[in-house]
Amino acid sequence: MRTRAEFETAFEALGDAARRDVLKVMGAALAMSGLSACEGEPDPRAIPYVTAPENLIPGKPRFYATAVTFGGYAQPVIGTTYDGRPTKLEGLPNHPMSGGTTDAFTQGQVLDLYDPARSQTVRRDGRPASWALFEAAMVDNARRLDARQGEGLRLLTGATSSPTFARELKALTDRWPMARWHVFEPVHEDGALEATRIAFGRPLSMRLQLDKAEAVVCLDADLLGPGPHQTARGQAWAKARLAFQQGSGRSHLLVIEPAPTQTGVMAQDRLAAGHARIGQLTQALAAACGLGHATVALSPRETDWIGKAAALLQAAPGKALVVAGPQQPPEVQALALQLSARLGAIGQTLILTEPVLLQPPDGPTSFAALTRDLLAGKVDTLAIFGCNPVYGCPADLAFAPALAKARTVVHAGLHLDETAAFAQWHAPLSHALESWGDARAVDGRPSLIQPLVRPLYDTRTIPVLLEALQGRPGAADRDLVMQTWRLAWGDGFDDRWKTTLPKGFVDEPLPAADAQAGALPAIAVPPDGGLEILFRPDASAWDGAFANNAWLQELPKPFSTLTWDNVVEISPALAKEKGVQNGDVVRVTSGQRAIEGPAWIMAGQDRGTVVVRLGYGRRLPGGLADQIGYDAYPLRLSSSPWRVTGDLARAGKRHKLAPVQPVTEAELADFVRTAPADQARTVKRAKTVSPSFYPDKPQAPPQWGMSIDLDLCIGCNACVIACQAENNVPSVGKGQVLQGRHMHWLRVDQYREGPDEAPDMAFQPTPCMHCEEAPCELGCPVNATSHSAEGLNQQVYNRCIGTRTCSSYCPYKVRRFNWFDYTGKDSPQVQAVRNPDVTVRSRGVMEKCSYCLQRINEARIKAELEGRPIRDGEIKTACQQACPTQAIVFGDVSHPDTAVSRRKIQARDYVTLEEADTRPRTSYLARLKSEGA
Amino acid sequence: MAQIFSPAADTWLRVATVVLAGGVVGGTLFASGLARSTYETRQGWHVDQPVPFSHQHHVGDLGLDCRFCHAGVEKSWNAGFPATHTCMTCHSQIWTGAQILAPVRDSLAKDKPITWTRVSGLPDYVYFNHQIHVGRGVPCVECHGRIDKMPMTYRGEAFKMRFCLDCHRHPEGRLKPKDQVTRMDWSGWTAKDQASFGKKAMQAYHLNPSRMTDCSLCHR
């Protein structure tokens, strides 16, 4: 049965074909396959510069410190460019927020730059126009607005923290005092700001200091999950966890959540509870810590959890932190904040600052106010810059029809999206990697955004458009940013600009704000209305902004490992009750509103909770994301953006879903081991090498190896995309994923064990193990895979004839075969993102993780020319470099004093499938028990 | 019933067998010969260029150093082609009106690059790095031939894998002093010089030929 589940499509593809037919097709394939070897001559042209740019060395990449934005926050990065083509983003190493690491979305943004579906021309009423026409129209419009002090001018943007935007906005409102700015951000943090207002009297941003926290309680707060904060929080949490591993300090993480999250997986005690129930449990926890009273009847399990949490929190004064997620009601979050404050968190594990994101005049009701004014006919000119409200609009706001009431609607975006279809004017926006700008990171430090490449198309940035809106066409984005900082820095501007630009950011975090906790908020119990339907951003598409990114679409989502789709996530109990199986289309109703989407049974989910994921069901003609998945926004309410109540029923249809790992149930101990905490500090007993018929492999340094600490891995998938970007790994599409032909060199395996209601779950990144006794090498009939003197399992593409024997011999199943030419038909833009240091594979060859061979070779050449050995840490594999928690370490295992060797001598070091005795060079560190430490 | 086979059938069979066998053997020989021929490897074949640039004149007669134009050779995998600007450092002063240099002047005037045709292209899947070879004292002439004697540039060596491996297995026979890496004429350099220098170089650079034939050194 399990084989059938795992290879479902293979069984389907075989169908009822007779043995003879199969043989005939095989014969034909064999006869034809020889032809595919014929290929054209390489391009003989050599085109040098006319005048070579200064300091440019042909063939050498150049690096620029810059930033991309995500949810309005800067994600500071170093951009790699080859011959002017941005190819890879890495975290900015000196930035305190990220420490040089990134998340999956940031890694994926370089592909967005080259998205062939990007908007490239100005459009008027849907037809191509020109910037000259647009700017002339704006000059006329500005004259009209001057006469009425800007009355009727409304500006709608996504969340932003850009100082230049703030300056431009101020200039605009100074000139036109009646103009108003609104914000539309589907996955917003308004609830968190409201919570600080309730608790401390004014809206503040919370900066969690997870590196200083020894006891953390998350109440529906996915601290380590996807989002703009993931890099910062993952990095800080890992610091605390590493200290714990070394025996200094404790590391307790307790979680209550309605649906499984990455934070829940890392928790020592995870309790599933409904969204509304969590409010009551927060009260109970506060009461247990001596704050307020609670009259909640608790189940024995809840009593146990709360007792444990309260004890751990109170045992760590000044090092405790209680966080309720931004999707909880503000009162619940406020209570959690006050509990934190009582436990001495303020200034220690929790720093409150003025809001990092700029706050629109109407605050959280900004978008609703705009819709209301539109309907009332108060809006003359509406400029929608860099957001997509027609797609993401909550069901109770009729935004798209209301747009007809505005005289002029101007839309600027990266795509000709749903909103563009309702606008008179559409202007193409520049991508962050081709523009000048600025934004603040989650810690408030401003990043300067500098272009890695000239705009690919004739596009503009938002500040330039703001100038155009005021009748001043032709502004340069660089001048506008410089103007902002000239005003901020005064006389020292020139020097400071020169030193800040290469550094990438201004090292001034927002100062801690003075905050005094007020009265305890009253927590209302929402009426019981059936199932709780929760809205959550998608781990690949987020709110829809990343939907058109093939790398992200093909990135297996945590827990379900699904690609190219969003699902309605339900609990196993509910599935049984309603007779629903994975892939059954279900109808989710709330009041008069309904959506339909495929169901997925999520072990560990609260019984009455249904999770719908935002970001899909886009209407984006010509784009990858067009019409895939279901749109969850029509179920959402502006008054209740994260939770509605309703019901769910089978719709009588099925939808084919493409999980990368169809079976996640396993005996956990076979793969992911758990060890007592002291095993991180004890040395392993000397390993006995099992006898072998084969001669010993040379062991002269350097010998490459990798260690992956499963105690730190949060399953964020940043490594998978980083590997994809670095190694030119193709995306193959849903159809091929369904056949098990996805190409990721590094996958994050998901395992769960135990009861469906409360399973034990774990992540395990699995690259090529680079076995010392590699079975694949024995299998290859043409020696296309062999062992290097440095212990690498090498794959030689030009020798490979595609028998796939190696893959069938590989116990870890990490080899990937090019069933088709996945890359040959890539558009010229997409070709530009490729790393020139890595071969682009074509049809019929096997490929796999190379331990980032190109980086090893580059470092070796550098070291040899400098006459020294390669330093420890000099080579970072792409996955290692991206990992926010530094779970992956790579280096020389033949030298005892390298980071990787220091890990491999720990008692908790182990290899998977040890019984196969392939002697993998990639080993794992067991997860640690937090209790009893 | 008539005979199925004519009296000549046996002869035809023999002829066909011989022709077929000859064809297979001959075809194989021809194909392998072709693969080794300079027609296939392009060794020694001139290539048409937009400007008939003479390395003989610039390197042999004038004594320009290779690195004047191929400036990336010590810093990058890519030796690089000179920008038009590099040509014009001299040709804005000399041969300013020469007809054959018109494409160079055009290039600068119109800001359009000159499209040269590669002479020393490597096969696909090979990542060659100039920086480390030059940095270890593999002289240019070893792979590119006597450039100083080429009025029109041609490929000096067949860039077959065997050519690379010959040297990777026995680097001591090819390494020269690093400061003379662009020297073309090594006629004064005896086998004895080579033996003693090669030995020293192998020690100085810790070269270990057994590690220099790993696939992953060049293929990735």
Residues in chain A with CB shorter than 8 Å from the CB of B78 are: 58-60
Name the residue of chain B whose CA is nearest to A842's CA: B125
Task: Indicate if the pLDDT at residue A794 is higher than 90.
Answer: yes
| Among A residues 827-866, those touching chain B with beta carbons less than 8 Å apart | 837-839, 850, 853-854, 856-857, 861, 864-865
Name the residue of chain A whose CA is nearest to B106's CA: A50
Name the residue of chain B whose CA is nearest to A857's CA: B217
Q: What is the pLDDT of residue A517?
A: 78
Task: Indicate if the pLDDT at residue A34 is higher than 60.
Answer: no
Nearest alpha carbon to residue A655 among A550, A569, A558, A565: A565
Nearest alpha carbon to residue B149 among B179, B101, B187, B115: B187
CB contact under 8 A, A47 and B219: no
Distance from CA of A932 to the nearest CA of B (A): 47
Name the residue of chain B whose CA is nearest to A40's CA: B124
* Distance, CA of A636 to CA of A632 (rounded, Å): 7
Q: Which of B84, B121, B131 sits opposite A865 (nearest CB)?
A: B131
Say which range, A50-59, A66-75, A321-330, A437-446, has the weakest mean pLDDT. A50-59
| Among A residues 773-792, those touching chain B with beta carbons less than 8 Å apart | 786, 788-790, 792
Task: Indicate if the pLDDT at residue A694 is higher than 80.
Answer: no
Mean pLDDT score across all residues of chain B: 92
CB contact under 8 A, A49 and B83: yes
Q: Which of B82, B117, B214 sits opposite A45 (nearest CB)?
A: B117
| Whole-structure pTM value | 0.93
Whether residue A98 contacts residue A84, with contact meaning beta carbons closer than 8 Å, is answered with no
Q: Binning pLDDT at 50, 70 and 90, where does residue A294 land?
A: confident
Whether residue A246 contacts residue A350, with contact meaning beta carbons closer than 8 Å, is answered with no
Distance from CA of A46 to the nearest CA of B (A): 5
Give me the phi and psi of B195, to 5 degrees please: -60, -45
Q: What is the pLDDT of residue A863?
A: 95
Residues in chain B with CB shorter than 8 Å from the CB of A700 are: 211
Name the residue of chain A whose CA is nearest to B119's CA: A44
Mean pLDDT score across all residues of chain A: 92
CB contact under 8 A, B75 and A794: no
Q: Which of A50, A59, A850 sits opposite B76 (nearest CB)?
A: A59
Task: Indicate if the pLDDT at residue B18 is higher than 90.
Answer: yes
pLDDT (tens digit per residue) in A427-475 = 999 999 999 999 999 999 999 999 999 999 999 999 999 999 999 998 9
CB contact under 8 A, A58 and B78: yes
* ipTM, two decimals: 0.91
Helices (H), A742-894: 775-779, 805-809, 828-831, 853-865, 878-882
Q: Does B114 touch chain A (CB under 8 A)?
A: yes
Q: What is the pLDDT of residue A441?
A: 95
Task: Indicate if the pLDDT at residue A898 is higher than 90.
Answer: yes
How many CB atoms sit inside 10 A of residue A23's CB? 11
Residues in chain B with CB shorter than 8 Å from the CB of A58 are: 72, 76, 78, 80-81
pLDDT (tens digit per residue) in A749-762 = 999 999 998 999 99
The set of residues, in sequence order, having a beta carbon less than 8 Å from that of A260 and lying 6+ positions away, is A558, A559, A602, A603, A604, A605, A761
Residues in chain B with CB shorter than 8 Å from the CB of A57 are: 71-72, 75-76, 80
Q: What is the pLDDT of residue A39?
A: 55
Task: List, as one string, the DSSP characters of A889-915.
Answer: EEEESSSTTSHHHHHHTBTTEE-TTGG
* Distance, CA of A463 to CA of A448 (rounded, Å): 14
Residues in chain A with CB shorter than 8 Å from the CB of B86 are: 52
Q: Which residue in this structure is represented by tokens 């990144």?
A: A765
* Distance, CA of A119 to CA of A459 (rounded, Å): 9
Task: Indicate if the pLDDT at residue B95 is higher than 50.
Answer: yes
Residues in chain A with CB shorter than 8 Å from the CB of B116 are: 45-48
What average pLDDT does this structure show over A149-164?
A: 94
Task: Indicate if the pLDDT at residue A75 is higher than 70.
Answer: yes
Q: Does B80 touch chain A (CB under 8 A)?
A: yes
CB contact under 8 A, A790 and B111: no
Using CA atoms in the order A892, A896, A901, A906, what is the torsion angle rounded to 10 degrees? 170
Q: Which of B72, B116, B125 sits opposite A59 (nearest CB)?
A: B72
pLDDT (tens digit per residue) in B32-86 = 999 888 888 888 888 899 999 999 999 999 999 999 999 999 999 999 999 999 9
Q: What is the pLDDT of residue B193?
A: 93
- CB-based burial label for A831 (10 Å; 0-12, 13-18, 19+): middle
* Distance, CA of A490 to CA of A620 (rounded, Å): 45
Q: How many A×B Cβ pairs under 8 Å?
A: 122
CB contact under 8 A, B216 and A788: yes
Q: Binning pLDDT at 50, 70 and 90, where does residue A36 land?
A: low
Task: Indicate if the pLDDT at residue B26 is higher than 60.
Answer: yes
Q: What is the pLDDT of residue B212?
A: 93
Distance from CA of A793 to the nearest CA of B (A): 9
CB contact under 8 A, B72 and A58: yes
Q: What is the pLDDT of residue B41?
A: 85
Distance from CA of B106 to the nearest CA of A (A): 10
Give me the phi and psi of A88, to 5 degrees please: -155, 145
Say which range, A276-290, A435-449, A675-689, B170-184, has the weakest mean pLDDT. A675-689
Q: What is the pLDDT of residue A525?
A: 77
What average pLDDT does this structure show over A746-750?
A: 95
Q: What is the pLDDT of residue A933?
A: 39
Say which range, A14-23, A92-101, A543-552, has the weakest mean pLDDT. A14-23
Inter-axis angle of helices A104-113 and A718-726, nearest 10: 40
Distance from CA of A563 to the nearest CA of B (A): 28
End-to-end CA distance of chain B: 69
Q: Does A868 touch chain B (CB under 8 A)?
A: no
Burial per residue of B110-125, b for 16 or more beta-carbon CB atoms within 10 angstroms, e otherwise: eeebbebeebbeeeee
Name the residue of chain A whose CA is nearest to B84's CA: A50
Q: Binning pLDDT at 50, 70 and 90, where does residue A71 land?
A: very high
- CB-based burial label for A667 (10 Å; 0-12, 13-18, 19+): exposed
Q: Does B50 touch chain A (CB under 8 A)?
A: no
pLDDT (tens digit per residue) in A477-536 = 999 999 999 999 999 999 999 999 999 999 998 999 887 877 788 888 777 778 999 999
Q: Binning pLDDT at 50, 70 and 90, where does residue A24 land?
A: confident
Q: Binning pLDDT at 50, 70 and 90, where does residue A723 land?
A: very high
CB contact under 8 A, B81 and A48: yes
Q: What is the pLDDT of residue A80?
A: 95
CB contact under 8 A, A837 and B220: yes
* Distance, CA of A841 to CA of A821 (rounded, Å): 8
Interface test with B, best of A62, A776, A838, A857 (most B CBs within 10 A): A857
Q: Does B121 touch chain A (CB under 8 A)?
A: yes
Q: Does B138 touch chain A (CB under 8 A)?
A: no
CB contact under 8 A, B211 and A48: no
Residues in chain B with CB shorter than 8 Å from the CB of A44 are: 117-118, 121
Q: Which of A52, A853, A864 sits opposite B216 (nearest CB)?
A: A853
* Distance, CA of A260 to CA of A761 (rounded, Å): 9
Q: Does A45 touch chain B (CB under 8 A)?
A: yes
pLDDT (tens digit per residue) in A235-271 = 999 999 999 999 888 899 999 999 999 999 999 999 9
Q: What is the pLDDT of residue A5?
A: 66
Q: Does B109 touch chain A (CB under 8 A)?
A: no
Q: What is the pLDDT of residue A109?
A: 95
Residues in chain A with CB shorter than 8 Å from the CB of B210 are: 698, 789
CB contact under 8 A, B81 and A46: yes
- CB-based burial label for A37 (10 Å; 0-12, 13-18, 19+): exposed
Distance from CA of B9 to the nearest CA of A (A): 32
Name the residue of chain B whose CA is nearest to A836's CA: B127
What average pLDDT does this structure show over B127-151?
A: 94
Interface test with B, best of A49, A703, A841 (most B CBs within 10 A): A49
Q: Which of B85, B215, B220 sits opposite A52 (nearest CB)?
A: B85
